[in-house]
């Protein structure tokens, strides 16, 4: 497995060149090669969703994708959500306001999941939001406050 491949990724709008083994997963590349450690690894088999990032706008589990597979895509990680001056996005603010995080480990995955979903379904009902939130695992909150945070963000965007 020592074969090395040249891979070009576009992450958070920036082009990054890599020389990596083809077996290297997207989440490992993001975290360990590019230093974007906001995206987390919880299970490495696609169940927990802690590693969720956006690939061309759609939420994707970065532990199930090889970096080499997403060369032509626009990849977004949690580091892209806050404004350049560090101020939190509306979605991030609602997570804090609703206590939608405790240990914070699963949080980037939920943020990217919600970010992708709301972009596609700004009129989502609370029940639809709950269904999407059920894609990822959280062990601290019992989910209610995550659903409420995403719902509040959707409402805030609609009334903006």
Partner 1 sequence: MNEPRFRRDGAWVGASVPRREDPRLLAGRGRFVDDIALPAMLHAQFVRSTVAHGRIVAVDLDDVRTVPGVVAAFSAADLRLGDITALLDRPPHEFVATSMPVLAHDKVRFVGEPMAIVIARDPYAAEDGVEAAVVEYEDLEPVVTDTAALADDAPLVHAEAQRNTLVDVSLFATEGIDDVFADAPCVVRVQTKTGRQNALPLETRGVVAHWDDRDEQLLVQTNTQIPHQVRTVLASCAGLAEKQVRVIVPDMGGGFGQKCVVGREEIAAAAAALRLRRPVKWIEDRRDALTAAFLAREQRYDVRAAFDADGRILGLDADVVCDMGAYSCYPFTAGIEPLMASAEMPSVYKVPAYRVRGRAVTTNKAPTGPYRGVSRPQYVMVMERLMERAARELGMDPVEIRRRNVITVFPYTGVNRITYDPGSYRESLDLCERVLRDEGWYDVRDSDRVIGIGYSCFSERTGYGSGAFAQRKMQVVPGFDISEIRMDVSGTVSVTTGTMSHGQSHETTMAQIVADRLGLDIAQVKIVQGDTDRITYGFGSFASRSITIGGSAVAAASEKLGDQLREIAAHLLEVDVDSTELDGAGGIRLRDDPARRLSFAELADVAYLRAHLLPKGVGPGLSATASFDVAGDGTFSNATHGVVVELDPGTGGVEILRYVCVEDCGVAINPQVVEGQCRGGIAQGIAGALFEQVTYDAAGQPLAPSLMEYKVPTASEIPDIAIHHLETPCAFTANGAKGAGEGGTIGAPAAVLNAVNDALRDTGVELDDTPIAREAVHRALNSALEGTGV
Query: By rule CB under 8 A, what string of x and - marks binding of each residue 35-64 to partner 1?
Result: xxxxxxxxxxx-xx-x--------------
Compute how many other C-beta atoms are within 10 angstroms of the C-beta atom of residue 8.
10
Q: Is 19 in the site for partner 1 (CB under 8 A)?
A: no
Among 75, 101, 152, 153, binds partner 1 (CB under 8 A): 101
Q: Which is nearer to partner 1, 9 or 31 (CB)?
A: 31
Distances in Å between the alpha carbon of 98 and those of 16, 102, 122, 154?
A: 36, 11, 19, 14
- The edge-to-edge listing of strands for the beta sheet with 58-61 is 14-20, 5-11, 74-76, 52-55, 58-61
Q: Among 113, 99, 79, 94, which Cα is nearest to 142's?
A: 99
Contact 84, 125 (CB under 8 A): no
- Return the range that interacts with partner 1 (CB under 8 A); candidates 68-76, 93-101, 114-122, 151-159: 93-101
State the minimum distance, in angstroms, from the CB of residue 113 to partner 1: 11
Instruction: For residue 133, give the H/E element and its range.
Output: helix 126-133
Contact 68, 7 (CB under 8 A): yes
Q: Is 99 in the site for partner 1 (CB under 8 A)?
A: yes
Q: Which is nearer to partner 1, 72 or 112 (CB)?
A: 112
**What residues make contact with partner 1 under the rule CB under 8 A?**
1-2, 21, 23-24, 28, 31-32, 35-45, 47-48, 50, 77-79, 81-82, 86, 88, 92, 95-97, 99, 101-108, 111, 130-131, 133-147
């Amino acid at each position: 497995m020592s074969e090395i491949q040249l891979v070009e990724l576009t992450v958070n709008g920036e082009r990054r060149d890599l020389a990596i083994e083809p077996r290297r997963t997207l989440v490992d590349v993001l975290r360990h090669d590019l230093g974007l450690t906001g995206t987390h690894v919880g299970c490495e088999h696609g169940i927990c969703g802690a590693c969720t990032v956006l690939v061309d706008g759609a939420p994707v589990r970065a532990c199930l994708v090889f970096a080499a597979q997403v060369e032509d895509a626009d990849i977004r990680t949690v580091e892209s959500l806050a404004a350049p001056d560090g101020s939190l996005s509306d979605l991030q603010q609602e997570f804090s306001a609703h206590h939608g995080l405790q240990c914070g480990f699963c949080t980037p995955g939920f943020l990217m999941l919600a970010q992708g979903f709301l972009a596609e379904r700004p009129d989502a009902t609370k029940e639809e939001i709950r269904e999407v939130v059920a894609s990822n695992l959280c062990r601290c909150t019992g989910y209610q406050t995550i659903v409420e945070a995403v719902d509040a963000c959707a409402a805030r965007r609609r009334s903006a």
